[in-house]
Amino acid sequence: MAVESKTFQVEGMSCMHCVHAIKTAVGSLPGISKVEVDLMGKKAEVTFDPAQVDTRSIIEKIVEAGYEVA
Ligand SMILES: [Cu+2]
């Protein structure tokens, strides 16, 4: 299984609850193997299988959770 890693710039996170919300939302998608969120750096690094999920779905999931992807 080929795995890809991509870092997204996330706006609107203010606390650990936000970090958890993004991890849970993105983690619910198929093909996600890891979600690392950097609150201060406003970043989310997602490791995923591009055959199962694409970056657009990941961005949509973050937006759906109430945050913005720059
Ligand atoms: Cu928060």
H helix or E strand, kind and range, residue 7:
strand 4-11
Report the alpha-carbon distance of residue 46 to residue 60 in Å, rounded. 14
pLDDT at residue 49 is higher than 80: yes
The rounded Å distance from CA 51 to ligand 1 centre is 31
> Residue 26: which pLDDT band, with cuts at 50, 70 and 90?
very high
The rounded Å distance from CA 68 to ligand 1 centre is 13
pLDDT at residue 1 is higher than 90: no
The rounded Å distance from CA 1 to ligand 1 centre is 34
Task: Please name each of the domains of the chain with its CATH number.
Answer: 4-69 (3.30.70.100)
Q: Which residues contact 68 (CB under 8 A, 6 or more apart)?
A: 10, 11, 12, 62
Prediction pTM value? 0.94
